[in-house]
Structure 1
Amino acid sequence: MKLIQRLSNSSLTKSSTIISFVSILAVIGPVVVVSAGFWDAVSHLQKEPEFFWSPSHIVVYTGVSMTTCAAIMGCVLILRKSVHGSLKTGIKLVIAGSILQIISGFGDSLSHDVFGIDGLISWSHQPLELGLVLASLGGVLILKNREHTKLKAFLPFAIIAFLFFTTWLIFNIVLIFGHTIQCIQIYEIFSSGCSIL
């Protein structure tokens, strides 16, 4: 019983420390996912075999795991009732983003099994990208709420990451409607870039 009490009083379990971890993981996780996603696209260009445990996929899963850890810690904070207002909203966005990433990841694996290598536009990629946007927006809200701490130095990076993910999602949504013209230019870059269309 004393061990549990010590753990609950330790600096690692204090709400402010958990909030710091949540904000950092909620921003870094999506950055890792997108970086590995580009790596995966390059692998497709080089005609490397597509399989679930490829190195680029493992890095994607690592990024999703980081966001999931942020979401789990966020759930702990919400259950403790130690967050309110925009901080709580940010954590809820991280949780929603994490759930979307996990579901989309399994969907993407299923899609590869059924349809083979897909392109930018697929029924699993855009929900994954929305999950990245939500998680990073949650990270921005959390960091904005913690501006009076040392975390404020991380806020510009978080905002740039959020803007990049949002722009990337909008770009891909635009491809859905203008794919005939726009996919011609990106086809070579992303191999089967618009094959789902």
Structure 2
Amino acid sequence: MKLIQKFSKSFLLKSSTLVSLVSILAVIGPIVIVSAGFWDAISHILKEPESFWSPSHIVVYTGVFMTSFAASMGCLLLMRKSVHGSLKTGIKFVIVGSIIQMISGFGDSLSHDLFGIDGLISWSHQPLELGLVLASFGAVLIIKNREHTKLKFFLPFSIIAFLFFATWLIFNIVLTFGHTIQCIQIYEIFSSGCSIL
């Protein structure tokens, strides 16, 4: 373990730079994922061919990679024991959120292979959304901890992103249990989701 810590300190970036990268990627990665998710939903509406390597999926994977890279750098910081308090808690949220996203992404790919096009509500989408919420919440904690640095300008953006992801997850959970409102007009854009349930 000490060998890994010495290697990471001598060959990689300073801890403060890593913290900045973790927080920024933990916000931008989920935004990329959600943006590509909307693109994927539009592709479903247009009945475009669905595959693992469709353009919208590749952009989703790029966002997941960004979040995973943030989590990897967070693991490095934890191994260095250079973070404490809310900063350490935020990094742990990013790591857990990233792991959930990767597992859900694999589950979503498996779901597409087995069942074809799915809807907004599926057994793999809501855990993925939970991963987005956790990672972005971790970023908020990290940036809040570093608000005396240049990262303070990123704080409002990270809070808005977290609130959006949390609201989106709550909206989908309500749709899961609110069967009578699932196919209202606002939900029509995701109409394939109505058939899944």
Give the TM-score band, short-chain normalised.
over 0.9
Q: What is the aligned partner in structure 1 of residue 105 from structure 2?
A: 105
What SS does structure 2 have at the residue aligned with 1:188? Answer: helix
Inter-partner Cα distance in structure 1 for 2:194 and 2:186 = 8
Deviation at residue 186 of structure 1 after TM alignment:
4.5
What SS does structure 1 have at the residue aligned with 2:32? Answer: helix
Contact 2:86 2:145 in 1 (8 A): yes
Deviation at residue 64 of structure 1 after TM alignment:
0.3
CA distances 1:101-127 after superposition (whole Å, capped 9, x unpaired): 000000000001111111011000000
Question: Which deviates the most, 180-189 or 90-99?
Answer: 180-189
Q: TM-score, normalised by structure 2?
A: 0.93
1:96 to 2:100 alignment:
no
Deviation at residue 187 of structure 1 after TM alignment:
4.9
Matched residues, percent identical? 82
Inter-partner Cα distance in structure 2 for 1:48 and 1:191 = 15
Q: What is the aligned partner in structure 2 of residue 115 from structure 1?
A: 115
Contact 1:32 1:62 in 2 (8 A): yes
Runs of 4+ in structure 1 deviating by more than 6 angstroms, as ranges, are none
Which blocks of at least 5 consecutive residues in structure 2 are unaligned? 1-5
Q: What is the aligned partner in structure 1 of residue 152 from structure 2?
A: 152
Inter-partner Cα distance in structure 1 for 2:195 and 2:135 = 28
What SS does structure 2 have at the residue aligned with 1:194? Answer: helix
Root mean square deviation, CA, Å: 1.6
**Residue-pair matches, total:** 192
One-letter amino acid of the structure 2 residue matched with residue 98 of structure 1: S
Q: TM-score, normalised by structure 1?
A: 0.93
What SS does structure 2 have at the residue aligned with 1:148? Answer: coil
Q: What is the aligned partner in structure 1 of residue 56 from structure 2?
A: 56
What SS does structure 2 have at the residue aligned with 1:165? Answer: helix
Which blocks of at least 5 consecutive residues in structure 1 are unaligned? none
Inter-partner Cα distance in structure 2 for 1:178 and 1:49 = 30
